[in-house]
Structure 1
Amino acid sequence: MRDFHLPGRSPVLATSGICATSHPLAAKVAVDVMERGGNAMDAAIAGAVLLGICEPQMTGIGGDCFVLWSDAGGQDVHAFNGSGRAPAAANAAALRDGGHETVPLYTADAVTIPGAVDAFCTLSREHGKLDLADILAPAIHYAEAGVPIAPRVAADWITSSHILKGHARTHYLTGGEVPQMGALFRAPGQAEVLRRVAANGPAAFYEGEVAEDMLAALAETGGAHTAADFAAHRGDAATPISGTYKGRELIEHPPNGQGATAILMLNILAQFDIAAMDALGAPRAHLEAEATKLAYDARNRIIADPDHTARTEFMLSAETARTLAAMIRPDRALDQAAPLTEAMHRDTVYITVVDKDRMAVSLIYSIFHGFGSGIASEKFGILLQNRGAGFTLEPGHPNKLAGGKRPFHTIIPGMLREGGRVIMPFGVMGGAYQPCGHARFVSNLADFGMDPQTAIDAPRSYAADGALRVERGYSDAVRAALSDLGHKVIVPDEAIGGAQAIRIGADGVLEGASDPRKDGCALGY
């Protein structure tokens, strides 16, 4: 139990259903949907679509999603890949010949076909209870009526607005200026798109006037996308992957997401007695940093479109973990793994829902960088993701940009199972940080007996780009000790990541946890 003398959050306890996500309105809508007879899938989709209005810098219908879920009363976990592909004309050699070493971030070259709308429609039809129109109604309402801009959203708007261009400036700025906290953000064009999707399904998005609006914006900025690229999009069912850490099975979405990296990290950490260490001490942060470098280096070489890579098992192998763990020195930091050529960033939303029948959904949804590509369609204001920046231009690499391929994705939903029983859907937002965030969260639970809210609240550190980012929650003495080990320690301006989780108690009680690093909350009924 937390110290009530200190600032903090208590877990949210309920029995009929809980949603935990990064904006209160989305959590409320998800609970409302369950109270109206919808299940966890209905609620998660309703909340996720609304998050695109509440946090437009993070996500929207021009983005992608990945989903894990367990059926009501069941313990099997299923997966859906809602990521889009590069247009057929995409060509890595042409970009290299144009002088590019990486896919340029804020251009049409980085725009892949948005996959989320098809995923939401498919999952609603196959696994929901309510009509799609009922699920989308809250987002349509708020897109028209407006949502007051929350504090974290306002801060992100300021840091990311410079990439908005053309029509995006019209839709996401107010008279050319960044809107302030508390100002109403409206998206009537997106409301109209959602009405059409509610009535006519995904074809209303991937064909006809809405698709033509997106294609025109892409053509204006040099894109090679065609109507055939949009019309051909379909998401795919996938088979989850998993690994075990101290009796808890971590279930992840398979590639092209980076979930295998979290499993590899935990397998590396399992070679050390983490539980004997201080949870907030330098030795633990050091080992985690070293495991991050090694696991991410493997990730950079292997993870790609599942149709173009066959080495996922290498990352899940205990032998791989033992070999990498043997490279770690407790008294000295390794050199940082070579940086990715593909871009990494933090901007994502996550939502998890468990309903009265104990269906559990773990859903993550993103346009990649803050405001994605910065390109929006003229009429409907659909902001297009820049997930294509997740490709590399390196010849022969499994993740090399090519027409029809899906790029490496940072976003990963998570699920925990113990004794064969699903016990917790969870997610940790934060771009490339996410596998490290998953590993730390699971370790906090397993090694230190933290409850989910405490595990989320605990300070974080993250080794990336030649530095070890250490949140202010760590002491100066820990930062000094890490520096003595050879880490280049910095205190990041922005808190690291954001997490949500719901523990499913064997006693029938649900326990929701939500990260104070974001604007959101857990709500139950």
Structure 2
Amino acid sequence: MAAGHPLTTEVGLRVLEEGGSAADAAVAAMLTSCVAESVLTGIAGGGFATFYEASTGSTTCLDFFCSVPGLEATRAAAPMEPIAVSFGGVPQRYEIGASSVGVPGVPAGAGALHSRWGRLPWTQVVSPARSLARAGALLPAPHSATLASLAPAMMPGFGAQVYAPAGRLLQGGDLLYHPGLDRALSILAADGPAAFYTGPVGRQMEATVTAGGGILTPTDLSVYEVLEQPVASASLAGSTVMARPDLNDFIITLGSLPELDVMPRPARAVAVAEALRSFGTQRLGDTTNISVVDADGNACVVTLTLGIGSGVWLDGLGIHLNSMLGEGELIRPGTRPGDRMASCMCPTVVTAPDGPLLMAIGSAGATRIRTALLHTLINTLVDGDSALAAIQRPRFHVVSDLVHAEPGYPEDELEALQKAGYKIQRWDRLDHYFGGVSAVGLAGAGGDPRRGGIGRLL
């Protein structure tokens, strides 16, 4: 089990110990992440899940990402509020406010995973997150650094009470507490995901967004459903890597690589950089990832996000609404109300040539998701690293002809990149910017120190 917060991992492990399946543990962990990792995600966000079923060898990708609102809307949305945030000194423009709120998918996604592959009672799976919401969770230092970057989106309205309760932004080790979130999770436990769509939480969400100038309608919420996506695959070092086709072309990028295991490391670095430069887009954002393998060999990988948060909260429920419409490039040409938005999120499973599961892996980090997954998979499948060592190893990320490199990345490889025409920007630390991988499998379990993650085995 691996995730982006020690408590998220602990809850998932506890559910596995109670006899839960990979899906049960993943659902309990994703709801816990909405409490402990609310700088990165939330119950009013969206995401994707990839489930590997050991008994059949089948892989299923579920889409519970946000959809575009406005079905049966009688007016246009009010203008969104532009803000500027910066990750590692890299500025990025976003828009927030009620008009940035998309139709959320996390409650429906949790319900779909549980109904298809869970075996514990629903209330038992929701209970750990509800209990944690009553007490609060300690904020990891990497999350506090992210909070500082996202303050323009996190602090409006009720956010100031959550993220600066004493008049200053929370620091690493401070208690993160969302007044009312335990009530929202109690409603989820008792009434199921429907409460967030056609029930009381959904009605409050629609009223709150409408009052702020957005166009989330009752129809948007009532027709929302979890979708299945096709499974794409590519080969790396003889293993099969499977995931959804994403906005940033991870599987296509992986499939374009030459045979890396026969190449010198400097030449390999250039080949990886060329593949990263040839495909995909560039965008910053915030996500978290959960990877679970159960005793039967089933795997569930969940990546979820709130965008950066809209600054709009549900009164009395401690729920921060998503800001997905504020990331305009996620809405592809021709997208209409009711359509699903695009995403770079890419929960992934890896199987051996003869079929058995090797790894469940995913990453946070918007367009750096592809970069982080690529480096980690090469480190494990080609170089034989453990999951933790592979995640901890320094990475580079390519933006056009510029290579962002973490400290400790081998100098001979950076020199080869320079000779190939790349400019090198050396960072002074392992940073949130470079993604947040969580992985579990035959190579062990690992969470990303860049985002306070942790992996553990039973």
- 8 Å CA contact 1:346–1:497 kept in 2: the answer is no
- Which has the larger strand fraction? 2
Which of 258, 269, 286 is the equivalent residue of 2:270?
286
Distance 1:98 1:147, change over 3 A: closer
CA contact (8 A) 1:67 1:253 kept: no
SS in 1 for 2:182: helix
Q: Which residue of 2 aligns with 1:136?
A: 126
For residues 96 and 222 of structure 1, the distance between their equivalents in structure 2, rounded to whole angstroms, comes to: 5
Distance in 1 (alpha carbons) for counterparts of 2:218 and 2:77:
22
Encode CA deviations 1:187-224: one digit per residue, 9 max, x unaligned.
Answer: 24221111111111112111333123322332343211
**Aligned partner of residue 165 in structure 2, secondary structure:** coil
Shift in CA distance, 70/136, structure 1 to aligned 2, threshold 3 Å: same
Q: Secondary structure at the match of 1:362?
A: strand
Please report the TM-score for the alignment, with normalisation by the length of structure 2.
0.88
Does 1:230 find its partner at 2:217? no
State the TM-score, normalized to the length of structure 1: 0.78
Inter-CA distance 135–407: structure 2 relative to 1 (3 Å threshold) = same
Mapping for residues 309-348 of structure 1, pairs under 5 Å: 344-348=283-287
Aligned to 1:402: 336
Q: Which residue of 2 aligns with 1:107?
A: 97
**Deviation for aligned residue 1:128:** 0.5
1:374 aligns with 2:311: yes
Q: CA deviation at 1:512?
A: 1.5
Alignment partner, residue 31 of structure 1: 13
The CA deviation string for residues 10-34 of structure 1, in whole angstroms up to 9 with x for no partner, is xxxxxxxxx1111111111111111
Q: How far apart are 1:484 and its partner, in Å?
A: 4.5
CA–CA distance in 1 between the matches of 2:324 and 2:167? 26
**In the alignment, which residue of structure 1 is the partner of 2:349?**
415
Q: 1:444 to 1:182 in 2, by over 3 A?
A: closer
User: Pairwise CA RMSD of aligned residues?
Assistant: 2.8
2:397 matches 1:467: no
* Residue aligned with 2:450, SS: coil
Question: Alignment partner of 2:343: what SS?
Answer: coil
Alignment-derived partner of residue 457 in structure 1: 392
Distance in 2 of aligned mates of 1:186 and 1:221: 25
Structure 1 position 161, deviation (Å): 1.5
After TM superposition, list the pairs within 5 Å mapping 1:352-501 onto structure 2: 352-369=291-308, 372-392=309-329, 398-418=332-352, 419-464=354-399, 467-475=402-410, 478-479=413-414, 481-492=416-427, 494-495=431-432, 496-501=434-439
Q: Assess if the C-alpha contact under 8 Å between 1:84 and 1:112 holds in 2.
A: yes
Task: Summarize the Cα distance change of 1:241–1:488 in structure 2 as closer, same or farther, 3 Å threshold.
Answer: same
Residues 477 and 489 of structure 1, relative CA distance in 2, 3 Å threshold: same
**Shift, 1:53, TM fit:** 1.2
Q: Is the 8 A contact 2:67 2:341 kept in 1?
A: yes
Q: Aligned AA for 2:160?
A: R
Helix, strand or coil at the partner of 1:431: coil
Residue in structure 2 matched with residue 310 of structure 1 by the alignment: none
The structural deviation recorded for 1:286 is 2.8
Kept in 1: contact 2:293–2:441 (CA 8 A):
no
For 1:494-509, list aligned pairs within 5 A.
494-495=431-432, 496-504=434-442
What secondary structure, in the 3-state scheme, does the structure 2 residue paired with 1:67 have? Answer: strand
How far off is 1:486 after superposition?
A: 2.9
Question: Which residue is equivalent to 2:25?
Answer: 43
Number of equivalent positions: 442
Partner of 2:455: 522
Cα distance in 2 for partners of 1:176, 1:407 equals 36
Cα distance change of structure 1 residues 513 and 437 upon mapping to structure 2, 3 Å threshold: same
1:265 and 2:198 aligned:
no
Secondary structure, counterpart of 2:349 in structure 1:
strand
Partner SS state of residue 339, structure 2: coil
Q: Which segments of 5 or more consecutive residues in structure 2 lack a partner in the other structure?
A: 83-91
What is the CA distance between 1:45 and its match in structure 2? 0.8
The residue number in structure 1 matching 2:42 is 60
SS of the equivalent of 1:474 reads: coil
Paired residue secondary structure (1:105): strand
Relative to structure 1, the CA distance from residue 389 to residue 284 in structure 2 (aligned partners, 3 Å threshold; closer, same or farther) is: farther
The letter for the 1-side match of 2:445 is G
Contact 1:263 1:439 in 2 (8 A): no
1:424–1:215 Cα change, 3 Å: same
Alpha carbons of structure 1 residues 124 and 150: separation in structure 2 relative to 1, 3 Å:
same
Report the CA distance shift for 1:80/1:99 in structure 2 as closer, same or farther (over 3 A): closer
Alignment check: 8 A CA contact 2:140 2:172 kept = yes
Distance across 1 between alignment mates of 2:172 and 2:389: 28
CA-to-aligned-CA distance 1:46-65 (integer Å, 9 cap, x gap): 11111111111101101112
Query: Bigger relative contact order, structure 1 or 2, given CA contacts below 8 A and separation 6+?
Result: 1
- Return 5+ residue gaps in structure 1 as ranges: 1-18, 301-338, 505-509
Query: In the alignment, what sits opposite 1:309?
Result: none
Which structure is larger by alpha-carbon Rg, 1 or 2? 1
> How far apart are residue 457 of structure 1 and its match?
1.9
1:203-247, Cα deviation, whole Å (9 max, x unpaired): 211133312332233234321111221222111233322122231
Please say which of residues 153-162 and 206-215 is displaced more in the overlay: 206-215
Equivalent position to 2:279, from 287, 292, 295: 295
More displaced stretch, 24-33 vs 232-241: 232-241
1:355 maps to a residue whose letter is D
Distance (whole Å) between structure 2 residues aligned to residue 403 and residue 446 of structure 1: 42
